[in-house]
Amino acid sequence: MYRPHPAPALLAQWTREAYALTRKLFESIPAGRPEVPLMPIVNPPLWELGHVAYFHEFWVHRRGDRDSPSLVAGADRLYDSARVAHDSRWTLALPDIEATWGYLETVRERTLELLEGGSLSDALAYFIELCILHHDMHNEAFCYMWHTLGYRAPLPAVGPSSTASPGGDVEIPAGTLELGAQPESGFVFDNEKWAHEVRVPAFAIARCAVSNGEFLAFVEEGGYARRA
């Protein structure tokens, strides 16, 4: 049972924020149909944008029913990532960028209309939040895709005010922790079910993430040539 779930007004806010961020991210790429080379770690941006809209429409508005019509003709054969092989996404006859934005906007507006009703079933609230989180994941993917493709950074850099960072490791003693979610904790992904105790042996971990400079030094010093 998906309870408690966020209030409709909060889900509406998250829906708008995810969409606004996607718009912001797309300001960094060439206008029109953005073409990218076929690479295993990226998707064509046009395809990925349509996939975000499709996932939301399929689970919230079509309720996971393939017999229910989509706003886009043939959407299931175009945008279903479970069925559309990665490399084939470069050769699909996709709607153009304006039509794809229109698809995303229409799905967003239909979701906001549902949320303005103010009352949600547990199932509908679950799938709306699932689709928001899915959208957030793809916004993150757009960021690393842009970096991979050499596009300008779409967002200002955020980091510590000082370049100084504490070095060394911190020692963590052995212990038992509870891993996973409780049934009454609200939204969870399936791989978070359910809470259980895990015994963790003692270990040490660096106090800060490895910097690019530290990683470069490790490589230049032959770190990958040493089994340790």
Q: How far apart are CA 206 and CA 54, in angstroms?
A: 41
Q: Where are the domains of the chain?
A: 8-149, 169-225
- Give residue 93's pLDDT: 96
- Give residue 149's pLDDT: 87
pLDDT in tens, 142-201: 999 998 888 888 888 766 555 556 778 999 999 999 999 998 888 999 899 999 999 999
Residue 52 CB neighbours (<10 A) = 25
Mean model confidence pLDDT for the chain: 91
Give the residue from 194, 202, 206 showing the smallest Cα distance to 175. 202
- Give residue 185's pLDDT: 85
Tell me the three state secondary structure of residue 138: helix
Tell me the three state secondary structure of residue 164: coil
pTM here? 0.84
